[in-house]
Amino acid sequence: MTVERDVMEFDVVVVGGGPSGLSAAIRLKQLGNETGKDISVCLIEKGSEVGAHILSGAVLEPRSLNELFPDWESRGAPLDTPVTTDKFMFLTETASLRLPTPPSMNNHGNYIISLGNFCRWLGAQAEALGVEIYPGFPAAEILYDQSGAVKGIATGDMGIGKDGQPTESYMRGMELHAKQTIFAEGCRGHLTKTLFDKFSLREGKDPQTFAIGIKELWDIDPEKAKPGLAWHSVGWPLSTDTYGGSFLYHLNGNQVAVGYVVGLDYSNPHLSPFEEFQRFKNHPAVRDTFVGGRRVSYGARALNEGGFQSIPKLTFPGGCLVGCTAGFLNVPKIKGTHTAMKSGMLAAEAIFESFEQMPAGSEPTSYSDKLQNSWLWTELYKVRNIRPGFAKGLWLGLAHAAIDTYLLFGRAPWTLHHHADHTCLKPADQAPKITYPKPDGEVSFDRNSSVYLSGTNHEENQPAHLTLKDKDVPITHNLAVFDAPEQRYCPAGVYEIIHDENGNNPQLQINAQNCVHCKTCDIKDPSQNINWVTPEGGGGPNYPNM
């Protein structure tokens, strides 16, 4: 581990192969090709391939794609299912009521897609333009020059055992140096978290808030297929003081993407987002879609909900933040792909324009100016009060959203604020217990069989990537006060409280190999004691069409 790392030099390094990182890389190369300037761009992705760690709904608003590749259709972009019908429902335990579709949920002109496959396609476009893509390599460390500017990243070492010692397959990581580094890690980027601290990027901003989204992909009975239907619900099974809802998107090929999103500001530590999702699928208005079908994939991922008031400072010496790692998701639309792409494109334009004048390690400040003058900024500003309006529950939230949308048109002279999600849990003895039904094995399932469908795999002999700042806190604080909520909010069953044969001496067992990289534990742990770091490259889920 004292071996020097090999160094590769690029003009720009992009960390993360999601829609934001790929759009940034593509735009840089497009601009280079248009002006005859050769600009070297490298993109690294921790998943085994581009798309392997991508999980989304997804309904794509094609606005940014139209700007990036106006000829996307002839390039074969996988946008096969235009949305034909929107339904917005309110559910009680036994009934369903169709509500008027809010304007933000009108998907006319949008497409139901697999975001993973869309990223695979973007990756192929990027490579054709000359972007060097290295999948299976996590950026594990940020490199700084002597002045404190970011000068690139280092990929993680491979072949280190649980004991921290090199194994036979040990391979030192690489250093990728760049004049500019673009961080596109997606929601709750783990290197981005360190940049927030190093450059005080969150100073004066609201805390970021989050939700967890859990999703399954189903092959359904062809008789029940309604390609183009985008169906959303609020209400049951969540209580009205918890923010969340479902989506059900019918794709071509008799497939349905079904998912459940729960705001991570929930207060009841007994709540399990996974079990709420399983229960939801048994609602009388939902269950029949899946009877006779086959579940083909499962996964989970956190998403940002802070919106406009939670956007951090975006630039620092040597680089910038794009996409969901900064937090550009439009919550009322439940869409962050078009905004992620746009931010990546604007970052690329800012970096490209000033590239020749700027020495390595400069701060690309014109990116923030470009953003503030773009449709993205206006779009997020208009809806900034909708999500915090739900802090007092579903009914007040819906009423406030209607007033803000139809009467004030998003121009209210005030801005509502957010609380950090990890501060929101009540002590377990002050919150009602929740009894969840057993899975029926037909429509609802347990966690283990679910994780199996995510294709998750991690080398077992490696240091823990779910690190605890204090190893006693899970028992002395989390178990004692909150009844160990990590057992329930983790959608992959990674955290278990185990006891000795007499039922005493509780311990936290971390089944790290099951981790689907959703980042929920890093966000929701009440004392912020869990720090998610990148495991060995290529580990994690292998989502096929999510």
State both tokens at 369: 């100016």
State both tokens at 338: 């078009």
Q: Write down the catalytic residue from 172, 450, 518, 520.
A: 518
301 is catalytic: yes
516 binds ligand SF4 (CB under 6 A): yes
Shortest distance (Å) from residue 127 CB to ligand SF4: 29
| Nearest CA among 16, 44, 47, 8 for reference residue 458 | 47
Q: Write down the catalytic residue from 301, 387, 447, 488.
A: 301
Cβ proximity to ligand FAD: between 31 and 345 the closer is 345
Question: How far separated are the first and last CA of the chain, in Å rounded?
Answer: 37
- Residue 520 binds which entry of ligand SF4, ligand FAD, none, with Cβ cut-offs from 5 to 8 Å by kind? ligand SF4
Shortest distance (Å) from residue 506 CB to ligand FAD: 32
Range 119-129 burial, b when 16+ CB lie within 10 A, else e? bbbbbebbbeb
Q: Write down the catalytic residue from 56, 104, 181, 343.
A: 56
Shortest distance (Å) from residue 450 CB to ligand SF4: 11
| Interface residue list for ligand FAD (CB under 6 A) | 15-21, 44-47, 53-60, 115, 138-139, 184-187, 189, 191, 213, 215, 259, 261, 301, 303, 323-325, 329, 334-338, 340, 534
521 is catalytic: yes
Cβ proximity to ligand SF4: between 351 and 494 the closer is 494
Shortest distance (Å) from residue 51 CB to ligand FAD: 8
Cβ proximity to ligand SF4: between 160 and 494 the closer is 494
Q: What is the DSSP string of 54-104?
A: -----EEPTHHHHHH-TTTTTTT-S--EE--EEEEEEE-SS-EEEEPPPGG
Cβ proximity to ligand FAD: between 61 and 483 the closer is 61
Among positions 200-259, residues that touch ligand SF4 (CB under 6 A) are none
Shortest distance (Å) from residue 51 CB to ligand SF4: 19
| Chosen residue from 79, 107, 519, 541 binding ligand SF4 by CB under 6 A | 519
Q: Write down the catalytic residue from 20, 209, 246, 337.
A: 337
Q: Write down the catalytic residue from 119, 325, 490, 534.
A: 490
424 is catalytic: no
Question: Do residues 256 and 248 make contact, with C-beta atoms less than 8 angstroms apart?
Answer: yes
| Chosen residue from 343, 518, 541, 542 binding ligand SF4 by CB under 6 A | 518
261 binds ligand SF4 (CB under 6 A): no
User: CB under 6 A: which stretch of 102-110, 116-124, 399-407, 485-493 binds ligand SF4?
Assistant: 485-493
CA distance 8 to 25: 17
521 binds ligand SF4 (CB under 6 A): yes
Torsion of CA 415, 416, 420, 425, to 10 degrees: 180
425 binds ligand SF4 (CB under 6 A): no
Cα separations (Å) of 499 from 20, 270, 364, 502, 508?
Answer: 44, 20, 53, 7, 9
Q: What is the DSSP string of 485-515?
A: THHHH-TT--EEEE--TTS-S-EEEE-GGG-
- Residue 327 binds which entry of ligand FAD, ligand SF4, none, with Cβ cut-offs from 5 to 8 Å by kind? none
Q: Residue 467: helix, strand or coil by DSSP?
A: strand
Shortest distance (Å) from residue 301 CB to ligand SF4: 8
- Residue 518 binds which entry of ligand FAD, ligand SF4, none, with Cβ cut-offs from 5 to 8 Å by kind? ligand SF4
Say which amino acid occupies 447: R
523 binds ligand SF4 (CB under 6 A): no
CA distance 470 to 530: 9
User: CB under 6 A: which stretch of 110-118, 165-173, 402-410, 514-522 binds ligand SF4?
Assistant: 514-522
Shortest distance (Å) from residue 357 CB to ligand FAD: 28
What 8-state DSSP symbol labels residue 437?
A: P
Residue 370: other Cβ atoms inside 10 A: 20
Among positions 427-466, residues that touch ligand SF4 (CB under 6 A) are 466
494 binds ligand SF4 (CB under 6 A): yes
42 is catalytic: no
Question: Do residues 51 and 124 make contact, with C-beta atoms less than 8 angstroms apart?
Answer: no
State both tokens at 200: 């005080």
What 8-state DSSP symbol labels residue 125?
A: H
Shortest distance (Å) from residue 112 CB to ligand FAD: 8
State both tokens at 509: 């067992």
Q: Residue 521: helix, strand or coil by DSSP?
A: helix
State both tokens at 518: 């959703």
Length of the chain (residues)? 546
**If residue 190 lies in a helix (H) or strand (E), which one and from where to where?**
helix 190-198
Q: What is the DSSP string of 395-424?
A: HHHHHHHHIIIIISTT--S-------GGG-
Cβ proximity to ligand SF4: between 397 and 535 the closer is 535
User: CB under 6 A: which stretch of 93-101, 249-257, 424-432, 513-521 binds ligand SF4?
Assistant: 513-521
- Residue 350 binds which entry of ligand FAD, ligand SF4, none, with Cβ cut-offs from 5 to 8 Å by kind? none
527 is catalytic: no
188 is catalytic: no
Residues that bind ligand SF4 (CB under 6 A): 466, 490-492, 494, 515-521, 532
Catalytic residues: 56, 301, 337, 490, 515, 518, 521
